[in-house]
Amino acid sequence: MKIRALGLWEVALFFLLAGVIVLNAWLSPYFLDVYNLIDSTFSFSEKALIALPMALLIIAREIDVSVASIVALCAVLMGVAADAGASVPVLALLSLCVGTAAGAFNGLIVNALGVHSIVVTIGTLSLYRGIAVSIVRDGSYTGFPGGFSWFGQHYLWGYVPVEFLIYVIATLIFGVLLHTTNHGRRIYAIGTNPDAARYSGVPVTRYRVALFALTGFMCGLAAVLLASRLSSVRLDIATGWELQVITMVVLGGVAIAGGAGTILGVTLAVFLIGLLTFGLSLVNVPGIVMNIYIGCMLIAAITLQRGATFVRLHLLSSNKET
């Protein structure tokens, strides 16, 4: 457990992050500008919010690829409600409830069918997005009440975005949840060996539904921030987010086979991707080319992870021999 908390992986990410910062600062004089840096957090805060529960899911050997569709569904329903004259708290609550329900539905189906969650959530990916699209069609919702923009556009004390602060608080909560509570220990147990966890009295199916519901809840939260920031909802909202979210988690060192990973790693990966994207945009690298850099980084990360596992096994076996 202790090895996991401060693994080779987090150290490697930390140096990679430092490298990206130094390189960017050298490439562009605008990178280290405080206001620019703060504004760069808008590009990743919402996705990073979803990466937190996704990390828990993947550690528990599950995955949810329907997250972007849940965000879209929540955003569209908020748009409908706003047109009907709903107030700001009602809109936020609606989004959180719809998200939680959609996530819980994923979890219940996974339990009921006993198939891998990737199959189920590929299905609900189409389902949720389909519902959203059939409601919004080729129009858009822009009738949000005035106070709604507070979530996604307001700065606290003049320069801390509300969005970013929410992300930081969520990270702390998830870190504490995963690393210091009984729930966190059980999530690792389920991901390492679900059968043995069940035989040890861990209610595996209940945890599964809870984790999917939590993921849906965070999607609902992200949808509030996103809709508030854009102040308009169209059918292509949050397209492709699922892959960006999973990239953050996997780059953060969460083992795709389950059982290992830390919130610290995911946080480092979030900033790594966020600052790399920001730096590249400052030197006028187009968005499509940016994907190449991020793809390369992910593959490098997985290669490194394999290497680290190999080294650990090697060290372990040599320990045994002596």
Partner 1 sequence: MRSQLRRARTTPLFRQNPWQPVSDFPPLLEVSHLSKHFGGVHALTSVSLRAVAGRVLALVGENGAGKSTIVKCLTGIHAPSSGSIRVDGVPHVFSGPQDAALVGISAIQQEPSMFDDLTVAENIFVGAQPQGRFGMVDWRAMTSAASGILDRIGSDIDPYATMKSLSVAERHIVSLAQALSADARLIIFDEPTAALSQSEIQHLYTIIEQLRDAGKAIVYISHKFDEIFRICDDYVVLRDGMPAGEGRIAEVGKDDLIAMMVGRTLTEIYPKTAAEIGDVVLKVSGYSHPTEFDDVSFHVRKGEILGFYGLIGAGRTEVMEAIFGLKGRSGGRLSLDGKPIDIASPAAAMKAGLAYVPEDRQHHGAILPFSILANISLPQLDRIGHGIFLNARAETALVEAFAERVHIRASSWHQPVAELSGGNQQKVVIGKWLATRPRVIILDEPTKGIDVGSKAAVHETIGQLVHDGLSVILVSSELEEALGICDRLMVMSEGRVVAELERAAFSSEAVLAAASRGNT
Residues engaged in binding partner 1 (CB under 8 A) = 1-2, 180-186, 188-189, 192-193, 195-203, 259, 316, 318, 320-322
**Structure tokens, 83:** 């047109």
The nearest distance, CB 285 to partner 1, in angstroms, is 41
Considering the complex, what minimum distance in angstroms separates the CB of residue 193 from partner 1? Answer: 5
Our CB check for partner 1 shows the closer of 31 and 188 to be 188
The Cα–Cα gap between 161 and 293 comes to 27
Q: Quick one: 149 or 193, whose CB is closer to partner 1?
A: 193
Query: 10 Å Cβ neighbour count for 66?
Result: 30
Identify which of residues 2 and 137 has a Cβ nearer to partner 1 in the complex: 2
Instruction: Pick between residue 79 and residue 259 the one whose CB is nearest to partner 1.
Output: 259
Nearer to partner 1, 96 or 197 (CB): 197
Between CA 307 and CA 97 the distance in angstroms is 42
The residue type of 178 is L
How far is CA 80 from each of CA 5, 128, 237, 290, rounded to the nearest angstrom?
44, 16, 15, 34
CB of 201: closest distance to partner 1 in angstroms? 4
Please state the closest distance from residue 180 (CB atom) to partner 1, in A: 6
Compute the distance between CA of residue 186 and CA of residue 207 in angstroms, rounded to an integer. Answer: 9
Q: What is d(CA 32, CA 78) in angstroms, rounded to the nearest whole number?
A: 37
Packing angle between helix 263-282 and helix 241-251, nearest 10 degrees? Answer: 120
Shortest Å, Cβ 64 to partner 1: 24
Q: Least separation, in Å, of the C-beta of 181 and partner 1?
A: 5
Q: How far is the CB of 3 from partner 1 (least distance, A)?
A: 9
Query: How far is Cα 297 from Cα 277, in angstroms, rounded to an integer?
Result: 12
Based on CB atoms, which residue is closest to partner 1, 52 or 273? 52
Neighbours of 170 (CB within 10 A): 17
Report how far residue 9's alpha carbon sits from residue 15's, in angstroms, rounded to the nearest whole number: 10
d(CA 216, CA 31): 34
DSSP H/E element including 156: strand 155-156
Local structure of residue 259 (DSSP, 8 states): S
Rounded-to-integer distance, Cα 284 and Cα 300, Å: 24
Nearer to partner 1, 201 or 287 (CB): 201
In angstroms, how far is CA 54 from the centroid of its own chain? 6
Provide the minimum distance between the beta carbon of 103 and partner 1 in the complex, in angstroms, as a whole number.
21
Q: Pick between residue 137 and residue 320 the one whose CB is nearest to partner 1.
A: 320
